[in-house]
Structure 1
Amino acid sequence: MTAPANTANERVQTQIVRLVESNQSFELACGRSLAPIDVAYETYGQLNEAGDNAILACHALTGNAHVSGYHGENGEKPGWWNSMIGPDRWIDTNQYFVICTNLLGGCDGTTGPGSLDPDTGKPYGLTFPIVTVADMVKIQKKLVDHLGVPQLLAVVGGSVGGMQVLQWLVDYPDFVKAGIPIATTAHLNAQSIAFDAVGRNAIVADPSFNKGEYYKTAQGPDRGLAIARMIGHITYLSEEGMRSKFGRQLRSAKDYSYDFNSEFSVETYLDHQGERFVERFDANSYLYITKASDYFDLEKAYGSLEKAFEKIQSRVLIISYTSDWLFTPKQAEKMVNAMAAIGKDVSYYNIESAYGHDAFLLENDTQGAVISCFLQATAHPDRDHTLESVNCMCPPRGRPSLSRFEQAQRSRVDYELIESLIEPGATVLDVGCGDGELLAKLRQDKHIQARGIEVQQDLILTCVCRGLSIMHHDIDEGLKAFADKSFDYVILSQTLQAVPNPKKVFTELLRVGRRVIVSFPNFAFWRSRVQLALQGKSPVTKQLPFG
């Protein structure tokens, strides 16, 4: 994948458009209305003639519309996801038309608490109405319509941006072909709300806050905002990452200074983050956007996640990170299970990372490869998704290692036998589906509704490239996402020998499938028995590469 180049043709400017005039009314979820409304946005690439290559990128809590390219005469300000979006990058603007907006309630060009209230001629401050994620998405839809986009190929975003993705999928199910919520949740838990509350209290308690009316004063609530940022930033990191990056290192001295100045490396790092943040962000916007994320709760709004997701028509790829303790993999799995339980086309990828919540901004090669493949498979569902064509679709970097299958170089004769047992149009779950070869073959030959489960990260990428619905899951943990008899066939193909608890696995397979098909290596073949007798260890042959 091409590294971002600071070139003149990637210089971009943020544009501002008025989407709601002063004499119009934009109704908010809180019951109040707001007008006028300006929206800051940037676009990259070109909308094609069919109008089917548009992607909306949604920013997180403190982001803005500048997702890619460079600002400034010297290009000193790269976009916040510049390694992901751009020419010849994972979300390739040579292929896609990418849009990014600043959130309603933000402070980078879109109407927010720092904007002028037309009734008073002064900044809104705390008289600005409370906005919700649904309100933010509603105004984004107005912008997309304004740009003449008939349908979005995908909506993608991390953290609070992922909440916007979920809201899009629920509110505009027939307008979005694919959704990619990353490192996010369907609602904040008590711990996350608590961190937001402490951050807001730090801002409000700052003597310079002045009830939100600080815009014309010499000093705003910089200290409170910096502390809020420091608190938030702790939640974006992981314990492992902090230990590796900082440990108990002192910033400069060799021994303790025995005072209350910042001296540990992690202290000075947080100081730096706070100082930089107050230079670019508005304290009132921090209050409003964190409140919007606290209020975001699809389960409360619809009664259950299953009911919330009932209207979804899009393909969905949910991505989480192993060390994210702000929005955990368990929270992601809850969404995945709810979608899977009602038959939605959902894939799940839990990426191993030490970066914590910030991984969605840092693990660009790993997440980029799967996002790129998912977008390609969504944009071109009619392509022949053989292994060769999949590899062509995948960008060079991040391409999966297929060593587990290449080393064996075995002909899977069991695939033909399994296919002969499957009725056309059936629903099929392949447990331990590997690179998805069998499911892809069944989909092509028998037109099945295919779903796979795989635990190996590189093989999941290949399945996504094939356009399969694939869940990153360990069968040893059961199949609780699926209801009883929810599949016509469940397949366990040459996976049994790697299962530590066969009884538990078979119980689950028989529960979710009307029929269960199992294939396994023939360890009793005479050549294998000879190897075992002569060498005293598990035999290794062309058909048994498990030694």
Structure 2
Amino acid sequence: MTVESAPHSVSLPPEGEPGHVRIGDVTTEAGAVIKDVTVEFERWGRLNADASNVIVLEHALTGDAHASGPADIDRPTAGWWNGMIGSARALDTDKYCIICTNVIGGCRGTTGPSSPHPDDGSPWGSRFPAISVRDTVTVEHMALKALGITHVHAVIGGSLGGARSLEWTLMHPDFVGKALVMCVGARASAWQIGMQSAQIQFIESDPDWHGGDYYEKGVAPDRGLGFARRIAHLTYRGELELDDRFGATAQPGENPLSPMRTADRFQVESYLDHQAEKLAQRFDAGSYVVLTDTLNRHDIGRGRGGMNEALHSSKVPTMVAGVDTDILYPFHQQEHLARNLGNCLGLERIESAVGHDGFLTEFERVDGIVRKFLKEEPELPQSA
């Protein structure tokens, strides 16, 4: 379903099915133009009479708009927040209309490097510009306005989604009622930039990269993407969790301790190989490069007098949550947000051996955080 810009009406796809809205040309923060942008989204629950019950979900780096529901031929993975969305669940579809968009630069329906360029129909490839977190919010804001939505009850996200949620509160404070920001900091740290830049270099060093113009070559830079994913996945998980699961145990039938080094693996190596293969099957390397660079550019203080000044200026009620074993966005970064936000609703610690991915895996704890975030609110107008 494609929705043309219609600022005075709301037209949404069937619940849990992809919809598309065209928003025209977008000028990035750095001055580049992305022509004829299409945004894919999904929704759950019904809009109420005045469209005031919208909650926007923001996905992480390799996520998409499919936040809830089974995998199918068009959506190769199950919803990334399955169990959180539905009747009487934390994101209660009897009360709220949940909308999740696919980020600009992605590869699941929203315009990105693999999308056809409007000038010639060939993939954007190397012509796709760099984008910032602010650009992703600009696109989402345009998409919601095109759907006739002029205010959202809340915005919720973790990791890249958390950075987007935080930027929403600073870029469009009159548009957002409240925000839940998880597993992110006020800006990318030097450690994060270094780790993420190394992942980009893995992909760009793959002979099949072709400067980003590999789409019509018949072979994708999956080897480089796989290396990037192995490193990234180690930052997503916890050291204790991985050691408990795998230790220094050899993969069955393989001997990594033979007299000469071979391709035989430890179990953790096999696990990382599997993660690399899974990502290559569902995600585009060009999008991975663009969105990883987007994370490197994250800095809410840029042009706003620095991090603390920007945070102090925030008036949108914002709850912050983080995982105590997160090595990618350590908990001290969420503590910094909570200390300095101008209207902080509180700081929630997710205790987990899993690490950064805890906001996706620790269902009961995160369910409780979301319910706390949304509780004791005035009654919303009934659905139309």
**Superposition TM-score, scaled by structure 1 size:** 0.64
Match of 1:364, as an amino acid?
F
* Counterpart in the other structure of 2:196: 196
> 2: CA distance between counterparts of 1:29 and 1:304?
17
1:11: Cα distance to partner? 7.5
Distance 1:300 1:121, change over 3 A: same
Q: Does residue 79 in structure 1 map to residue 79 in structure 2?
A: yes
- Per-residue deviation at 1:171? 0.5
Deviation at 1:119, TM superposition (A): 2.4
Alignment partner, residue 17 of structure 1: 21
1:373 aligned partner, one-letter code: K
CA 1:300 to 1:261, structure 2 compared with 1: closer, same or farther past 3 Å?
same
The one of 251, 254, 260 equivalent to 2:262 is 260
Find the aligned partners of 2:254 and 2:335 in 1 and give their Cα distance: 46
Q: What are the ranges of 5 or more consecutive residues in structure 2 without an aligned counterpart?
A: 1-13
Determine if contact 2:65/2:101 at 8 Å carries over to the other structure: yes
Shift of 1:380: 5.2
Whole-angstrom distance in 2 between the partners of 1:123 and 1:240: 42
Q: Map 1:19-34 to 2 at 5 A.
A: 19-20=23-24, 25-34=25-34
Counterpart check, 1:338 vs 2:337: no
> Deviation at 1:375?
0.8
How far 1:352 sits from its partner (Å)? 1.2
- Offset at residue 146 of structure 1 (A): 2.3
Which letter does structure 2 place at the counterpart of 1:300? R
Compared CA separation, residues 379 and 243, structure 1 to 2 (3 A): farther
Contact persistence 1:53–1:379 (CA under 8 A): no
Tell me the amino acid that sits aligned with residue 166 of structure 1: L
Q: Secondary structure at the match of 2:356?
A: helix
The structure with more radius of gyration: 1
8 Å CA contact retained: 2:15, 2:42:
no
Counterpart CA distance in 2 for 1:28 and 1:229 is: 27
| Residue 303 (structure 2) pairs with residue 304 (structure 1) | no
> Do the aligned residues in 2 keep the contact of 1:319 with 1:351 (CA within 8 Å)?
yes
- 1:86 and 1:92 in contact (8 A); partners too: yes
Q: Output aligned runs, 1:30-69, within 5 Å.
A: 30-69=30-69
Letter in 2 for 1:141: H
Identity of aligned residues (%): 35
Give the aligned partner of residue 376 of structure 1. 375
How far apart in 2 are the matches of 1:238 and 1:177?
A: 34
Moved more, 105-114 or 365-374: 365-374
Decide whether the 8 Å contact of 2:15 with 2:43 is kept in 1.
no
After superposition, what is the alpha-carbon deviation per residue over 1:328-369, rounded to whole angstroms, capped at 9, x for unaligned? 111111111112xx4x24311112111100101101110111
Q: Does 1:132 align with 2:125?
A: no
Among 327, 330, 333, the alignment partner of 2:329 is 327
Q: Aligned to 2:56, what secondary structure does the other structure show? A: strand
Aligned to 1:351: 350
Tell me which residue corresponds to 1:100.
Answer: 100
Q: 1:128 to 1:74 in 2, by over 3 A?
A: closer
Paired residue for 1:288, among 284, 287, 290?
A: 290
The alpha-carbon distance between structure 1 residues 273 and 366, as it changes in their structure 2 partners (threshold 3 A), is same
Task: State how far apart, in whole Å, the 2-side matches of 1:179 and 1:224 are.
Answer: 36
Alignment of 1:178-197 (within 5 A): 178-197=178-197
* Deviation per residue, 1:434-465 (Å, 9 max, x gap): xxxxxxxxxxxxxxxxxxxxxxxxxxxxxxxx
Alpha-carbon distance change, 52 to 275 in structure 1, aligned in 2, over 3 angstroms: same
CA distance in 1, matches of 2:173, 2:131: 22
Q: Which runs of 4+ in 1 moved over 3 A?
A: 73-77, 253-257, 378-381
Task: Kindly report which structure 2 residues correspond to 1:416-435, keeping only aligned pairs within 5 A, or say none.
Answer: none
- The 1-side partners of 2:159 and 2:238 are apart by 15
Q: How far is 1:309 from its partner?
A: 2.7
Moved more, 69-78 or 44-53: 69-78
Matched, 1:218 2:222: no
Give the 5 Å matches for 1:238-257: 238-253=238-253, 256=256
Aligned runs of 1:360-439 on 2, under 5 Å?
Answer: 360-379=359-378
Aligned partner of residue 179 in structure 2, secondary structure:
strand
Q: Distance in 1 between matches of 2:351 and 2:344?
A: 23
Q: Give the Å deviation of 1:311.
A: 4.1
CA contact (8 A) 1:26 1:34 kept: yes
Higher relative contact order (CA 8 A, sep 6+): 2
> Contact conserved, 1:18 with 1:38, CA < 8 A, in 2?
yes
Question: For structure 1, which runs of at least 5 residues remain unmatched after alignment?
Answer: 1-9, 382-547
Q: Amino acid of the residue matched to residue 216 of structure 1?
A: E
Q: Is the 8 A contact 2:255 2:265 kept in 1?
A: no
Q: Is the contact made by 2:180 and 2:373 (CA closer than 8 Å) also made in structure 1? A: no
Distance in 1 (alpha carbons) for counterparts of 2:197 and 2:98 = 34
Q: Which amino acid aligns with 1:346?
A: L
In structure 2, distance between residues paired with 1:92 and 1:226: 37
Distance 1:349 1:276 in 2: 32
CA shift, 1:133, in A, is 0.8
Partners of 1:254 and 1:12 in 2: CA distance: 43
Cross-structure match for 2:154: 154
CA contact (8 A) 1:178 1:378 kept: no
* Alpha carbons of structure 1 residues 100 and 157: separation in structure 2 relative to 1, 3 Å: same
Match of 2:109 in 1: 109
CA shift, 1:257, in A, is: 5.5
- Are positions 1:206 and 2:206 aligned together? yes
Query: Once superposed, what is the RMSD of the aligned Cα atoms?
Result: 2.0
Q: What CA distance in whole angstroms lies between the structure 1 residues aligned with 2:244 and 2:378?
A: 40
